[in-house]
Amino acid sequence: MQKSSASLRDRLSEQDFAITAEVPPPLAAAPEAMLALAAPLRDRVDAINVTDAAGARIAMSSLAAAAILRRAGVEPILQMTCRDRNRIALAGDLLGAAALGVENILVLHGDDPSQGDAPDAKPVFDLDSREVMSLARQLRDEGVLPSGRKIESPPRFFIGAADSPHDPAAGWRPDTLIAKQAAGAEFVQTQFCFNAGVVRRYMARLSEFGLAEKLRFLIGVGPVASAASARWMNEKLFGVHVPEPVIERLERADDPAAEGQRICVELIHELRQIDGVAGVHIMAPRGGAPAIAKVIDGLSQTQRVRFR
C-alpha cells in the first residue's frame, strides 16, 4: 500500500483515512539503528510515532529519533511525556523539534519510573499533559513564551492527545477530552481497542458533545501474536480488553501470528465504516514494524475511504 507524500495534517484535513504506526527508538547511539527499525513502514504509513522512554525504559531520545526520521524523509510524530522535563526543558524541546522539521507532537503523561530500568529516577511532572498542549499552542499561535518573550519564527505544531475507547456508561461525559481539545489538541491516538462495537458507541457519545467533528480520531489497533499475548495485554495494559472470541481464534490457529494479523485487518475494515473514525494507529509491541507492515499489506487499496 503506497502512501502519498501529503502531511498527516493534510491527510486528516482532507478527510482521508489515515494510518499511523509506532516504533520505539533503539537503545543505540547510531542513526542507522533507528532507520532500520522504521524501514519496514516506509511508504506504508502516513506517519510514525517515536515513543518517549516507553515503560520508563531508557532508549534513544524521542526528539533525536524523530529528527532522524524527518531527515530521512519519513514523517514522525514526536511523543513527549511530562515525566522527565520541567517547563524550561519542555519549551526548549518543543522549539528544537520545530527547528528540526518535526511538527506532529503527541503529549502524554508518561509511565511511572519505578516500573522501568531506572527505578530511582525522580519524576518531574512540572506540567501536566493539558498544560503542555496549551504551551505548544501558545508557542504556535501567539509566538510568545508564557513569560511574554517573543519567539522568532514560531513553530507549526499539529498537536495530539491520547485516550482510551470504552463503552460509555449512561450519563458519562468526555470531560477529559473536552479539556484536551480546549487546551489545543487537534487529533487523538487511542489505546488498543479490539471491539468495533465499543468504538462505535464511544464515537457516538463523543459526537453528542461535538468532539468527533473537532478532533481527528486514530483508533489504536494491532496484530496480537498469540493467545498468551492477548491475555497478557488484558492483565497488564490499562484500559485494554481483547475479547474472548479473538483469544479463541488465536488458540485454534495453526499460525497464531498470521491469524492475529488477519484479525487486525478485519478490524480495520470495520473501523473504516464508523462515523468519526479518521484512521488507525497500529502498534505491535511483540512483532515490531514487520508485523505492522504485514497488516498494512493485507489491506486492499480499494478500501481507502473518506471518513464521515
Tell me the per-residue pLDDT of 66-120, one tens digit each, with 9 for 90 and over.
999 999 999 999 999 999 999 999 999 999 999 999 999 999 999 999 999 999 9
Question: pLDDT tens-digit profile of 13-35?
Answer: 988 899 999 999 999 999 999 99
Q: What's the pLDDT score for residue 260? A: 96
Task: Give the pLDDT band (50/70/90) at residue 285.
Answer: confident
Q: How far apart are CA 156 and CA 174, in angstroms?
A: 27
H or E element: which one contains 10? helix 8-13
Query: How large is the C-alpha radius of gyration of the chain?
Result: 19
Q: What's the pLDDT score for residue 121? A: 95
CB 242 within 8 A of CB 194: yes
CATH class of 8-302: alpha beta
- What are the grid coordinates assigned to 230, written together? 492477548
Q: What's the pLDDT score for residue 15? A: 83
3-class DSSP state of 49 = strand
> Percent helix, strand, coil in the chain (nearest 5)?
45, 15, 40
Q: What's the pLDDT score for residue 308? A: 37
Q: How far apart are CA 220 and CA 4, in angstroms?
A: 22
Angle at 119 between CA 118 and CA 122, to 5 degrees: 90
Q: What's the pLDDT score for residue 226? A: 96
Q: What's the pLDDT score for residue 300? A: 66
Residue type, 243: P
| Average pLDDT of the chain to the nearest whole number | 94
Q: What's the pLDDT score for residue 6? A: 77
Burial class from Cβ neighbours inside 10 Å (0-12, 13-18, 19+) for residue 300 reads exposed
Question: pLDDT tens-digit profile of 131-185?
Answer: 999 999 999 999 999 999 999 999 999 999 999 999 999 999 999 999 999 999 9
Q: What's the pLDDT score for residue 3? A: 60
CB 116 within 8 A of CB 122: no
Residue type, 82: C
pTM > 0.75: yes or no: yes
Residues in the chain: 308
Written in H, E and C, the secondary structure of 58-124 is CCCCHHHHHHHHHHCCCCEEEEEECCCCCHHHHHHHHHHHHHCCCCEEEEECCCCHHHCCCCCCCCC
Q: What's the pLDDT score for residue 301? A: 45
Q: What's the pLDDT score for residue 24? A: 95
Question: pLDDT tens-digit profile of 238-255?
Answer: 889 999 999 999 999 999
Q: What's the pLDDT score for residue 5? A: 64
Question: pLDDT tens-digit profile of 204-229?
Answer: 999 999 999 999 999 999 999 999 99
Q: What's the pLDDT score for residue 16? A: 87
